[in-house]
Structure 1
């Protein structure tokens, strides 16, 4: 049996058998999220309509990701149908609660999705703090709280939801309520590229589809992959514009050996 115990092994396995990832994401993120998955070696499907999202989630070969960035009542219907179908089919799904604290509409949408038991929750520090019931300083989609301040909230949320929780920022934090690690890397240019974080949610879904037996390890592997690709892209970038295309190239060029050699993952 092929081992998938390291991020590099998971990346290699994903490319050998590209998973189909249903990405219900926002209008801003669709293009870059699809390109990120293709560069990494996965196959994206941007299927969100309520009339087909549930059916597609049931027949899709791999996993589902849900991002609430640009909400509408019709999109919520599609999200709920897809999440129910994924759960029924025992497929992992990822929730990205973008700025869920901003309005009652968003808060209610996320509360209803949490009832459907996401396998993984990925957000910035402000989103995770607020999701755990704390007071965050988030403004719109931007986090105004440091990742380390969200670590306690992430642990609590992981235990309550029985899910893996990933808090992303300058140093990422991942926990399942018992285990926890930090992942270093990336670039200060990453937050300046629209929807790059949203595309990371889709990549987490791709890794989860590749290693559903190790959701914690798959989440860590996805974040480490993103971090190393970000470091590499920043080397020749003059700003966020050139960083954006360099990131896709770096992601596509990243191999298993380099990922394992450069990933900086430490117990928390």
Structure 2
């Protein structure tokens, strides 16, 4: 689904990302973690088109997307919630999900995502209702987004992304600032996206949640990939323990 081949980013003499590679198959939930300043956010920017790599290549569904604009990449089915999480606070929950349909409606026929398991619903109203129901937001459909608790606003951002019918969803710190109950609810919603054939790449500071949600985890430190594997493999990896997991709780990933 997504291939990242030796991408690097330099800002003058500063090497922010150095020759990072990873391959994410369809349907996988992949976590990207690392200490503060490790380069994970820059890596996210490079993949989603917000930054152009100095070198290397990004392939999505076998096609190069390196250097393409974020909107162009989103229309191909790779959607980053950073593009959608500015919840329209004065709009209702239903209206927010409607906004996601506009990106999908504007896709060219050759770009439309067609290999997810989301139902084919031609009516925007019916599609919105289906998404609200499956994200447990139906009761809040007519509520202004600003009235929702933080956790539900995060779920709303994911629901809006579903309206775009993504093949791959990039989640920026989806659990940040949430209380334990809200974290559990959002994490459950993220895990449930597997059922619809949606591939996920997420950056998250809450490493414990990443270990429980993700099928596989990539760890970056000082701009380089230092480890990759399952939660069990990562927690036992000496380089990861030294770089991050060995630190006291409360440090950012």
TM class by shorter chain equals: 0.3 to 0.5
Q: Which has the higher contact order (CA 8 A, sep 6+)?
A: 2
| Structure holding more strand per residue | 2
Larger Rg: 2
Of Structure 1 and Structure 2, the greater helix share is in: 1
